[in-house]
Amino acid sequence: MMNESGKWWQKSVVYQVYPKSFNDSNNDGVGDLNGITEKLSYIKELGADIIWLNPIYDSPHVDNGYDISNYRSIDASLGTMMDFDQLLKRSHDLGLKVILDLVVNHTSDQHPWFKESKKSKNSSYHDYYIWKNPVEGHEPNNWGSSFGGSSWEYVKSVGQYYLHLFAKQQPDLNWENPKVRQEVFDVMRFWLDKGIDGFRMDVISLISKKPDFPDGTIVQKKKFGDYYYGAANGPRVHDYLKEMNKEVLSHYDVVTVGETPHTNVEEAVKYVDRRRQELDMVFHFDHMHLDYGEYGKFSKNRFKLLDLKDVLSRWQTEMAKHHGWNSLYWSNHDQARAVSRFGNDGKYRVSSAKMLGTLLHMMQGTPYIYEGEEIGMTNVHDAKISDYNDLETLDIYNRFQNDYHLTEEETMKAIHMKSRDNARTPMQWDESKNAGFSKADKTWLKVNSNFRSINVARAKDNPDSVFYYYQKLIQIRHDYPIITTGQYRLIDANNPNVFSYERIGNDNTLLVICSFAEKKIQYKVPDDLKKLDHKVLISNGDQYEWDTSGDVVLQPYAAVVYLIQGKEML
Ligand code: TEU
């Protein structure tokens, strides 16, 4: 069990805001910083401690701000630096911390560094990016970009290819170049000196490439090779992060969370073992991969509960063992809506959203709530391809139709299940025009058509709403240190319907029971707990009293957390 004092971010809950889609203050159809400032009291009322903003910097928005053309200015569509300063000040006044997205694996091709870099091999910025000579007249290797096509783009005037793991408008920075690292560190200081409270670091596991740029294997019906073998957790990534920590992070009391694609828990602990002084947390993808299939992310598979238990439990146990700290999430701006993917967004929307919240928030780690999750917002089920904006979705649509010859219906089914735009539709505030997000005639992405029944105003009017349940989950996390410190233990590992675990403290234990079944089921409380004094801390339905033999009847998607007195620590 960890020390009860802990770091502030270990006791915190993060609320993720996707700025384009949160609240539009100037009614141009795009959310903005002043819109976020208007809604800070909402985030405060929910009880979150930290706000993470997706990128807000100058950007051509090929990938919605993950293509940055100036790291030190605010994108005009979102507001001004004064608006940001005000947002930060108001947040701090309310006791909310603010972390920003640091996107430094790549820049936009419109960044002045890249414009200089591609002028010639002799440019002093050439080596800011990864340029390679053609090999026998072709690309240097078979890597495919995340958003379709090769990850190499030839520039005739230079006579070389540059690397872009994402869109071709997102050239990869060359971290081998110490000047690049110093530039990044300067950018970080710029924002930290303004008083921000930390960073979420985009694809940080990809910044060090293997120097021989080995071909990747071709999987999942793709035309190109996988870049992960040559780019994920590369040979110098930990040197770079140690340097970043020593030069920048160690001088500020901030929190960092690295997004680490292709990183299993053994690799992850190298980033977050606190004795190594690199990052505080990482976002892993192991639970996101449970429903991948022959077309990767865009498959129609559902996850299996036993796999979910296995993955989440492994991360709980290993992080604790290796002095690390988990980040806990169901969804973000790249993923489908949690309740649609892991719960049931029809008949059991409310109970399954609450159940999922319970399962995650009672685990050890820092929970991340993605905007709208706290009111049970769902995927979009009726959009046409012309309604989508996301370049990943548009690429998949093309590939499914043209390369794999799937029908329109099959293609749209996969997109409705997994498109990133499911998470990016405007926040649903009330039942007025555009769900109260904007008064514009057209919003940048269409509002989900279910906004009249699912919105904040309705949730606030109903004491049994997902909103108030999330508020309570956060409150009990703040009130009961055992949720931060208790030792995790999975129980009933082979139960195919119920995910249950204990959090074991010095003089009490939490018992968390979450049913994924769509019917009533019976559950047996473990023998060593059933005779002890207990009280329900939170539940999404009944009080779930167990009888003398420890049997309790669970409603569909039941969630219940008991605080049990007296069990000794193992
Ligand atoms: O995503 C990184 C990443 O690994 C993506 O491949 C992600 O898994 C994908 O969207 C899943 O379908 C980050 C950002 O979160 C994402 O929004 C950006 O598009 C990407 O980096 C490039 O910056």
The predicted model gives 286-303 an average pLDDT of 94
Measured in Å, residue 506 CA sits from the centre of ligand 1 at: 41
Q: Check residue 222 and give its pLDDT.
A: 77
Helical pair 265-272 and 237-247, crossing angle rounded to 10 deg: 20
Which H/E stretch holds residue 347? none
Instruction: Name residue 284's amino acid.
Output: H
Question: SS3 of 341, please?
Answer: helix
Is the predicted pLDDT of residue 415 greater than 70, yes or no? yes
Q: Check residue 569 and give its pLDDT.
A: 46
Positions of CATH 3.20.20.80 in the chain: 10-107+179-379+422-473
- Taking a C-beta distance cutoff of 8 angstroms, is the pair 185, 248 a contact? yes
The per-residue pLDDT of the chain, averaged, comes to: 96
Positions of CATH 3.90.400.10 in the chain: 112-163
- 16-52 residue pLDDT tens: 999 999 999 999 999 999 999 999 999 999 999 999 9
| Contact 63 CB / ligand 1 (< 6 Å) | yes
Which is the catalytic residue, given 197, 259, 278, 392?
A: 259
Residue with CA nearest ligand 1 atom 17 = 334
Confidence of residue 177 (pLDDT cuts 50, 70, 90): very high
DSSP string, 190-239: HHHHHT--EEEETTGGGSS--TT-------TT-SSB-SHHHHTT-TTHHH
Domain 10-107+179-379+422-473: give its CATH code: 3.20.20.80
226/369 Cα distance (integer angstroms) = 30
Is the predicted pLDDT of residue 3 greater than 90, yes or no? no
206/365 Cα distance (integer angstroms) = 24
Measured in Å, residue 370 CA sits from the centre of ligand 1 at: 15
Residue with CA nearest ligand 1 atom 7 = 334
Q: Best of 334, 394, 417 to mutate for ligand 1, by most ligand atoms within 8 A of CB?
A: 334
The predicted model gives 109-136 an average pLDDT of 98
pTM above 0.75, yes or no: yes
Residue with CA nearest ligand 1 atom 16 = 334
Confidence of residue 568 (pLDDT cuts 50, 70, 90): low
Q: Check residue 570 and give its pLDDT.
A: 44
| Contact 66 CB / ligand 1 (< 6 Å) | yes
| Contact 261 CB / ligand 1 (< 6 Å) | yes
| Contact 202 CB / ligand 1 (< 6 Å) | yes
Q: Check residue 566 and give its pLDDT.
A: 75
| Contact 244 CB / ligand 1 (< 6 Å) | no
Which is the catalytic residue, given 49, 202, 280, 502?
A: 202
Atom of ligand 1 nearest to the CA of 147: 6
Atom of ligand 1 nearest to the CA of 63: 19
The predicted model gives 344-371 an average pLDDT of 98
Confidence of residue 513 (pLDDT cuts 50, 70, 90): very high
Residue with CA nearest ligand 1 atom 9 = 334
Is the predicted pLDDT of residue 375 greater than 50, yes or no? yes
Instruction: Name residue 563's amino acid.
Output: L
| Pick among 3.40.50.2300, 3.20.20.70, 3.40.50.970, 3.90.400.10: CATH of 112-163 | 3.90.400.10
Residue with CA nearest ligand 1 atom 1 = 203
| Segment among 5-9, 372-376, 421-425, 504-508 with least mean pLDDT | 5-9
- Taking a C-beta distance cutoff of 8 angstroms, is the pair 357, 466 a contact? yes
The predicted model gives 232-258 an average pLDDT of 98
Positions of CATH 2.60.40.1180 in the chain: 486-565
What are the strands, taking DSSP E only, across 262-357? 281-283, 327-328
What architecture is domain 486-565?
A: Sandwich (2.60)
The set of residues, in sequence order, having a beta carbon less than 8 Å from that of 337 and lying 6+ positions away, is: 331, 345, 372, 373, 377, 378, 379, 422, 423
Is the predicted pLDDT of residue 219 greater than 90, yes or no? no
378/337 Cα distance (integer angstroms) = 5
Question: SS3 of 148, please?
Answer: coil
Residue with CA nearest ligand 1 atom 4 = 261
493/484 Cα distance (integer angstroms) = 22
289/205 Cα distance (integer angstroms) = 17
- Catalytic (active site) residue 259: yes
- Catalytic (active site) residue 395: no
The predicted model gives 371-378 an average pLDDT of 99
Residue ranges in 304-348 assigned as alpha helix (H): 305-321, 338-342
Instruction: Name residue 198's amino acid.
Output: G
Q: Check residue 542 and give its pLDDT.
A: 85
Q: Which residues of 46-71 are buried (b: 16+ CB within 10 A; e: fewer)?
A: bbbbbbbbbbbbbbebbbbbbbbbbb
Question: 65: phi > 0 → left, psi -120 to 50 → alpha, else beta; which?
Answer: left
Q: Check residue 204 and give its pLDDT.
A: 98
The predicted model gives 380-388 an average pLDDT of 97
Measured in Å, residue 293 CA sits from the centre of ligand 1 at: 18
Atom of ligand 1 nearest to the CA of 103: 23
Confidence of residue 567 (pLDDT cuts 50, 70, 90): low
Q: Check residue 223 and give its pLDDT.
A: 86
- 46-80 residue pLDDT tens: 999 999 999 999 999 999 999 999 999 999 999 99
Question: SS3 of 346, please?
Answer: coil
Q: Best of 21, 61, 66, 163 to mutate for ligand 1, by most ligand atoms within 8 A of CB?
A: 66
Measured in Å, residue 365 CA sits from the centre of ligand 1 at: 22
